[in-house]
Amino acid sequence: MSEPDGEHLGPYRLLSPLGSGGFGEVHLALDPEGRTVAVKVLHPHVAADASALTRLEREVETMRLVEGPYVAEVLDASMSGERPYLVTRYVQGRPLSVVPVPVTDLRRLAKGLAQALTAIHDAGVVHRDLKPANVMMAEGEPVVIDFGIASALDSLSVTASGAVVGTPGYLAPEVLEGQETGAPADVFSFAATLAYAATGRQPYGTGPLSAIAYRVVHHEPDLEGVPAWLEPLLRECLLRDPAARPTAAQICARLGVDTPSRGRHGVRGLSGTARRPTPSAMGAAGPAGPEPFPGALGPEPGAFLEAGGPSGGLGGVFAGGRRVEPTQGHADLHDLSTREWRPGRPTTDEARARHREKIRRRWVIGSGIFVALLAAAARTPLPEASLLLLASYSLIVVGDAAVALLSRGLFRIRRMVTDLSSVAGVVALWLVLSTLFSPFTLALFAGTALVVGVVFLLNA
């Protein structure tokens, strides 16, 4: 099911696989404007299930209403064709399941998760698989991924017969017992996730999946080490009776944060073909499908990219906290911007244009200083050579300014100002240097500048 690097799915260019979960394969991709997104291509056995696909299409309509800084929004979707897919915001960071725990800023994490859960529930969506692997830590802020996918695809034809979609230890007792579930189940998972972040331990221990599930239903959680300000709230959220648990909005109030208001960028309906994501929500996401329990356990889905790899760009690929070797195509991604897109942040083409303009500006200024040194050194012994150097530099730079005037580049005005200012600056520097220093001293300066420039180029 892997897509070759550079292939397209709808309007999206698939760059490289990030990982594979129970329901789909996640790709790092570019949207038509060059922004990074995450595209989850559904597995063939999921795409072949008409009822599951219809249910997912209906749920996606609601999932796309969920917006906020602490959720990875669903940006686009196409449930038609041979390869149905979802497009989400790509979040660059690391899952809570692999960051150092206990978390240093636990209050910040708790508030962010509470606001994420409120945004999800206000839209009428139930996550059903909230756990540390589905909480991305991006610059210290939590971002919840994969909301609604588990409940949308929880059908016998998609999962193993009798299986429960989710992760033991973070699933509510009513989910494990096969009862009707809703938002209170997410509150239970929220508390279990925070307990792990606060102590570094799963609140219901480790071991066989059946043993963990038994402890969830019949035992009290282990909250030893949870700060005093948080423990009472977690105990309420982990109550066996769903009706006794607080709501997400009540959790926000208990933590002293405002309930996030529901915002929309307009109706984003499904038409059977992929639609462009709205710019205000575009950027990054790292979705991954939930794992079935206790049926056949596939690869852990929480795939993501670790920033700051050996090359200083994209690092290794992780799946469920386990490092795997980068797949073919990651070596070509080091020049791509994979930072989350936010309003005001340049697109990939704009970033490249800015980089080219920066390099050009450095060359113009650097070469101008060198020419001024040489021309000043030659002013007394070789006045004609001095004037020739100045004239040649001025003609070249003024010509570049004329080209900028006729072009439609993003930085043509800035380019013209830089060029004309450089010419005036070189002439002024030539006059000052030739007046204050002897030709021999200036020649030494010019030689030193030449050596430094060559060394810099070789290092670059």
Cα separation, 390 vs 426, in Å, equals 8
264 sits in which H/E element: none
Residue type, 419: D
- In order of 7, 128, 235, 330, 438, the CA distances from 377 in angstroms are 57, 76, 80, 51, 7
Instruction: Enter the DSSP assignment of 199.
Output: H
Cα separation, 105 vs 101, in Å, equals 10
Cα separation, 204 vs 299, in Å, equals 22
Q: How far is CA 103 from the centre of its chain?
A: 20
What is the tens place of the pLDDT at every residue in 157-201? Answer: 444 434 445 678 999 999 999 888 899 999 999 999 999 999 999
Q: In the chain, where are the structural domains located?
A: 8-333, 348-459
As assigned by CATH, the class of the 8-333 domain is mainly alpha
Residue spans of beta strands (DSSP E) within 303-414: 303-307, 314-319, 322-324
Instruction: Enter the DSSP assignment of 131.
Output: S
Q: Between vectors from CA 210 to CA 207 and to CA 215, what angle results, nearest 5°? A: 75
Strands 24-30 and 36-42: antiparallel
Tell which phi-psi region holds residue 289, choosing left (phi > 0), alpha (psi between -120 and 50) or beta: beta
pLDDT number for residue 364? 87
Contacts of 219 (CB under 8 A, 6+ apart): 204
Contact 176, 128 (CB under 8 A): no
Burial of 428 (0-12, 13-18, 19+ CB in 10 A): exposed
Contact 270, 78 (CB under 8 A): yes
SS3 351: helix
What is the tens place of the pLDDT at every residue in 376-419? Answer: 888 888 888 889 988 998 899 888 888 877 776 656 788 888 88
Segments of the chain with pLDDT less than 70: 1-6, 21-22, 150-166, 259-352, 408-411, 459-460
Instruction: Enter the DSSP assignment of 320.
Output: T
Contact 187, 251 (CB under 8 A): yes
Cα separation, 169 vs 154, in Å, equals 19
CA end-to-end distance (rounded Å), the chain:
40
Active-site residue (options: 49, 122, 129, 419): 129
358 assigned to a ligand binding site: no
The torsion angles phi and psi of 293, rounded to 5 degrees, stand at -140, 135
pLDDT number for residue 323? 36
List, as own/partner pairs, every contact residues 6-9 make where C-beta atoms lie below 8 angstroms and the sequence separation is at least 24, other chains included.
9/39, 9/41, 9/83, 9/85, 9/274
For the chain, the average pLDDT equals 76
Instruction: Enter the DSSP assignment of 85.
Output: E
Contact 127, 181 (CB under 8 A): no
Q: Is 335 a catalytic residue?
A: no
Alpha carbon dihedral 237, 242, 246, 252, in 10-degree steps, equals: 70
Contact 200, 186 (CB under 8 A): no
Instruction: Enter the DSSP assignment of 261.
Output: P
